Amino acid sequence: MAAPDVLILGGGVIGLTTAYYLARAGLRVQLLDQGDFGQEASWAGAGILPPGNPRHAKTPFDQLRARSVSQFPQLSEELKSLTGIDNGYLRSGGLEFVGDAGHAAEEWRGEGIDFQPLTDKEVHEREPMLAANLGAAVFLPGMAQLRNPWHLRALIQACQMLGVALQPGQAAQSFIRDRRRVRAVQTAAGDIAADSFVVAAGAWSDQLLAGVGCRLGIQPVRGQIVLLHPDRPLLRHILLWGARYLVPRGDGRVLIGSTEELAGFDKRTTAAGVQGLLELATALVPSLAQASLEMSWAGLRPGSKDGLPFIGRVPECDNLFVAAGHFRAGIQLSPGTALLLKELLLEEPPTISSAAFRLDRA
């Protein structure tokens, strides 16, 4: 078999989406993962897609997010047409509870996002099952969601249909370098050569990159999530409460997340973590106290020191790239990240500047 144009290490949503974009552009792509594809942080997330407007986004992160989420309607239809798998994309709208509704409204206005400030009374008109006196909120009609496991299944099948060579259970051990270029990756099954390489291994990325002297400081941040199943639908919109959230699914289930814990590579759920999420859920929606506790789980999100992902070329390695450190935003940033990588690898004009995501940023 001919060596691939690009070998991607890491089969989460970033690696899979990048593989899909590159294969769609006509490149030969091979994708390795130490376990099963899409079973780490990508699977564990809630699939919240905040609104974005590429024409008005100001910061580099907001530009990446806006460019990314604007691709999801077309990407979702494209994946469904190709594979027959519906990823559950839905513009359900969201309520963001804020201490200062005026300040939040100005932020969304500055980003060119459609929004509507709501009084406490208006909040309850939209969501009658909410607790009393939660305060003002901002309604975001453009907020959307998807079902992470469904989206990942669609990406895996789409990659297969486009000829991506998928190799689960194949851990990369080290890189074989020749001066400024990587020649191959060592695995237990043998060396794999390629023209270019992409590390998209999430919380495990630093372990791979240490062999080429690249230390980004990406660390795992555990996020626990709880799934409740009430006897009837209680919510219509996503609820954002600071860094935590409630996401109603179409079948009436409600997903509550999430914690942020520095627990190393420990993916266990804990009594304290689950208790905190249940307390939030019942404080916001008292009727959820009677819902069945269906399941809980945790994922290890790849956090960076400054909160921005790393997207770009490894210094001193001309053909080694990284896409990692997306923390809580892996799903929502995946199309934009894949687009940036495709442009870098094919030396195309960049859609947005990637300078803020450089690996050697100060």
Residues 111 and 23 in one domain: no
Residues 77 and 37 in one domain: yes
Boundary of a domain, candidates 303, 323, 341: 303
Residues 223 and 80 in one domain: no
Residues 200 and 280 in one domain: no
Would the pLDDT of 322 be above 90?
A: yes
Residues 71 and 138 in one domain: no
CATH number of the CATH domain containing 242: 3.30.9.10
* pLDDT, tens digit, 9 for 90 and up, residues 93-104: 999 997 665 666
- Predicted confidence band of residue 362 (pLDDT cuts 50, 70, 90): low
At 138, which amino acid appears? V
CATH number of the CATH domain containing 59: 3.50.50.60
Boundary of a domain, candidates 303, 319, 338: 303
- Whether 61 maps to a domain, the answer reads yes
pLDDT of residue 41: 85
pLDDT of residue 58: 87
pLDDT of residue 287: 98
Would the pLDDT of 1 be above 70?
A: no
Residues 292 and 153 in one domain: no
- Predicted confidence band of residue 239 (pLDDT cuts 50, 70, 90): very high
Would the pLDDT of 105 be above 80?
A: no
Would the pLDDT of 208 be above 80?
A: yes
Residues 27 and 129 in one domain: no
What is the domain count for the chain? 2
User: Can you say whether the dihedral through the CA atoms of 153, 85, 19, 74 is positive or negative?
Assistant: negative
The per-residue pLDDT of the chain, averaged, comes to 94
- Region 220-245: mean pLDDT is 96
Would the pLDDT of 347 be above 80?
A: yes
- Whether 1 maps to a domain, the answer reads no
Give a three-class secondary structure readout of the chain: CCCCCEEEECCCHHHHHHHHHHHHCCCCEEEECCCCCCCCHHHHCCCEECCCCCCCCCCHHHHHHHHHHCCHHHHHHHHHHHHCCCCCCECCCEEEECCCHHHHHHHHHHCCCCCEEECHHHHHHHCCCCCCCCCCEEEECCCEECCHHHHHHHHHHHHHHCCCEEECCCCEEEEEEECCEEEEEEECCEEEECCEEEECCHHHHHHHHHHHCCCCCCEEEEEEEEEEECCCCCCCCEEEECCEEEEECCCCCEEEECCCECCCCCCCCCHHHHHHHHHHHHHHCHHHHHCEEEEEEEEEEEECCCCCCEEEECCCCCCEEEEECCHHHHHHHHHHHHHHHHHHHCCCCCCCCCHHHCCCCC
pLDDT of residue 100: 61
Between residues 362 and 191, the one the model is more confident about: 191
* pLDDT, tens digit, 9 for 90 and up, residues 114-162: 999 999 999 999 999 999 999 889 999 999 999 999 999 999 999 999 9
Residues 225 and 258 in one domain: yes
- Whether 185 maps to a domain, the answer reads yes
Residues 181 and 60 in one domain: yes
- Whether 127 maps to a domain, the answer reads yes
Say which range, 39-53, 74-88, 281-295, has the weakest mean pLDDT.
39-53
Boundary of a domain, candidates 278, 303, 328: 303
Residues 107 and 160 in one domain: no
- Whether 314 maps to a domain, the answer reads yes
* pLDDT, tens digit, 9 for 90 and up, residues 263-303: 999 999 999 999 999 999 999 999 999 999 999 999 999 99
Residues 6+ apart with CB under 8 A from 121: none
- Whether 153 maps to a domain, the answer reads yes
Residues 45 and 179 in one domain: yes
pLDDT of residue 102: 60
Give residue 235's domain range. Answer: 94-142+219-303
- Whether 125 maps to a domain, the answer reads yes
Residues 133 and 160 in one domain: no
pLDDT of residue 104: 66
Say which range, 5-9, 89-93, 134-138, 197-201, has the weakest mean pLDDT.
134-138
- Whether 362 maps to a domain, the answer reads no
